[in-house]
Amino acid sequence: MYDIVSMGEILMDMTPVQGREGFLYEPNPGGAPANVAVACARLEVRSAFIGTVGQDFFGDLLIHTLEANTVDSSCIYRTSQAPTTLAFVHLDKKGERSFSFYRKPGADLFLPWGRKEKQTIENTRIFHFGSLSLTNQPARTVTKKALRYAKKKKKLISFDPNLRPSLWKDLKEAKRQIFSCLKWVDILKLSEEELLFLSAKETFEEALAWAKSLVRPIVLITRGENGVICLFQETIISTGSYHVEVVDTTGAGDAFVGGLLSQLSQEERPFHISRERLLQILKWASAVAAITVSRRGAIPALPSKEEVEKFLARYQEHMPS
Chain residues that interact with ligand ATP, rule: CB under 6 A:
162, 191, 222-225, 227-228, 241-242, 244, 246, 249-254, 256, 286, 289-290, 293
- Residue whose CB is less far from ligand ATP, 58 or 256: 256
Residue nearest to ligand ATP (CB): 253
Instruction: Please name the amino acid found at residue 308.
Output: V
Show the beta-strand stretches assigned E in the chain: 2-7, 11-16, 25-30, 47-54, 71-79, 86-91, 97-102, 124-129, 156-159, 187-191, 218-222, 228-232, 235-239
Closest separation in Å from C-beta 312 to ligand ATP = 13
Closest separation in Å from C-beta 243 to ligand ATP = 7
SS (H, E, C) 179-223: HHHHCCCCEEEEEHHHHHHHHCCCCHHHHHHHHHCCCCCEEEEEC
- Residue whose CB is less far from ligand ATP, 106 or 227: 227
Instruction: Please name the amino acid found at residue 196.
Output: L
Q: How many C-beta atoms surround the C-beta of residue 122 within 10 A?
A: 15
Which helix (H) or strand (E) segment is 40 a member of? helix 32-42
Closest separation in Å from C-beta 139 to ligand ATP = 19
- Residue whose CB is less far from ligand ATP, 26 or 56: 26
Closest separation in Å from C-beta 1 to ligand ATP = 28
Q: 72 in helix, strand or coil?
A: strand
- Residue whose CB is less far from ligand ATP, 110 or 242: 242
- Residue whose CB is less far from ligand ATP, 85 or 222: 222
Enumerate the β-bridge partners of residue 157: 127
CA distance 13 to 135: 19
- Residue whose CB is less far from ligand ATP, 189 or 216: 189
Closest separation in Å from C-beta 241 to ligand ATP = 3
Closest separation in Å from C-beta 293 to ligand ATP = 5
